[in-house]
């Protein structure tokens, strides 16, 4: 748990409640947390899910791992400490956006259960959907769209998840999407269906 360094900060309450925002939006806010190995399909599924939800009139924010590392988290590398801080920031940002009534889709490897559980702990029960984008390491290596597995296997990239750094599979995710069996549209549809079943949309 990260402690607040400054003792001179005060949380300012808002005049507009989350309930009022959700009533206007026509749906509830939540966080869809996509986790899985690189090349499992997280970003592709996130983009398709965003489009399907947008077409339904939902207010959506997509946070993608590579994109966030080019701005908000550009000062972080891939050491265990930096990975933890990377996910902590996203979890806190997800909380803020969810409390603004948005459906937040995050697409991050987020390899450690501890990090993902932090995200869960910040979000009201029933509004956090850990979604395991499942794909075998062999298939991820075969896909390797960025050529990063090849470099990691050759030792050119250190601390690469699945090769030289661990990935801890989720214990009890809300959804499992096996991308060796389901296509992108089917995965996105499964997420949308889950949100409908849960009363989010």
Residue 165 has phi, psi (to 5 degrees) of -145, 150
The mean pLDDT of the chain is 94
The structural domains of the chain, ordered by start, are 44-134+168-197 (3.40.50.300)
pLDDT 10s digits, 121-147: 999 999 999 999 999 999 999 999 999
Residue 63: in which H helix or E strand, if any? strand 60-64
The residue whose two tokens read 């996130």 is 46
The structure tokens listed for 106 are 């995050």
Q: pLDDT tens, 1-28?
A: 667 778 788 888 889 999 999 999 999 9
Tell me which residues are annotated as active site. 110
Q: Are 43 and 102 in contact (CB under 8 A)?
A: no
Residues 104 and 33: beta-carbon distance below 8 Å: no
Structure tokens at 163: 């090769």
User: How would DSSP label each residue in 90-114?
Assistant: HHHHHHHHHTTT-EEEEE-----HH
Helix (H) or strand (E) holding 52: helix 42-55
pLDDT digits (tens, 9 = 90+) for 23-72: 999 999 999 999 999 999 999 999 999 999 999 999 999 999 889 899 98
């Amino acid at each position: 748990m990260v402690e607040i360094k400054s003792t001179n900060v005060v949380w300012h309450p808002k005049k507009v409640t989350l309930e009022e925002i959700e009533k206007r939006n026509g749906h509830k806010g939540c966080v869809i947390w996509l986790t899985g190995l690189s090349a499992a399909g997280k970003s592709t599924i996130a983009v398709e899910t965003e489009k399907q939800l947008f077409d339904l009139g939902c207010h959506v924010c997509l946070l993608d791992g590579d994109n966030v590392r080019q701005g908000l988290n550009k000062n972080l590398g891939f050491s265990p400490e930096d990975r933890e801080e990377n996910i902590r920031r996203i979890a806190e940002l997800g909380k803020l956006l969810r409390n603004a009534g948005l459906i937040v889709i995050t697409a991050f490897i987020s390899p450690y259960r501890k990090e993902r559980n932090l995200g869960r702990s910040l979000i009201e029960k029933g509004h956090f959907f850990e979604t395991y984008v499942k794909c075998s390491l062999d298939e991820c290596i075969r896909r390797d769209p960025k050529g990063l597995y090849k470099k990691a296997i050759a030792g050119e990239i250190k601390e690469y998840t699945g090769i030289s750094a661990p990935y801890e599979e989720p214990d009890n995710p809300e959804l499992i999407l096996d991308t060796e069996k389901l296509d992108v549209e089917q995965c996105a549809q499964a997420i949308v269906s889950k949100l409908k079943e849960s009363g989010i949309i």
